[in-house]
Amino acid sequence: MPPMDWLDDIKWDRDGLVPVIAQERGSGDVLMFAFMNREALAETARLGRAVYYSRSRQRLWRKGEESGHVQQVHEIRTDCDSDVVLLTVTQLGHDPGIACHTGRHSCFFQRLDNGAWTTVEPVLKDPETIYK
């Protein structure tokens, strides 16, 4: 197993977390934003599948553990300050890929139009049928 010294280069916040952006490999779409702790980032690198840290549940969240909408990780990058992580992923489990718990392709489905938020992406699958 390779050394884990690279984890020491990440600038973790006071709660031991780092912000993470998941970007779709083919389209370049930004799918979601989440957080990882040290264990989640290490497991993501080891498995090649996205593992996040759920602040609301206070535990690791393996993307797709309930929905089946898994993120295969192709590349892990950090920004110039090493305080944000970028994952290049393929969203699996539905075609087209669903990354958002609302059943949409991307969590960034609202756009500001003339001073109001407008939904610009359709629901691909009813969340009631995704989550138990």
Tens digits of residue pLDDT in 21-61: 999 999 999 999 999 999 999 999 999 999 999 999 999 99
In Å, what is the CA distance from 64 to each residue of 2, 67, 96, 98?
Answer: 26, 5, 15, 10
- Other C-beta atoms closer than 10 Å to the C-beta of 61 total 19
Cα of first residue to Cα of last residue in the chain, in angstroms, is 36
Tokens 């916040």 belong to residue:
13
Range 80-94 average pLDDT: 96
Rounded to whole angstroms, the Cα distance separating 111 from 113 reads: 6
Closest CA to 130 of 52, 59, 64, 54: 64
> What letter represents residue 102's amino acid?
T
Range 76-100 average pLDDT: 96
Range 115-123 average pLDDT: 97
DSSP string, 62-118: ETTTTT---EEEEEEEE-TTS--EEEEEEE-SSSS---STTSSS-S--EEEETTEEE
pLDDT of residue 80: 97
Range 100-128 average pLDDT: 95
Tens digits of residue pLDDT in 69-79: 999 999 999 99
Range 4-29 average pLDDT: 96
pLDDT of residue 1: 55
pLDDT of residue 4: 75
Q: What is the CATH topology of the domain spanning 5-122?
A: Ubiquitin-like (UB roll) (3.10.20)
Is the pLDDT reported for residue 8 higher than 60?
Answer: yes
| Average pLDDT of the residues of the chain | 95
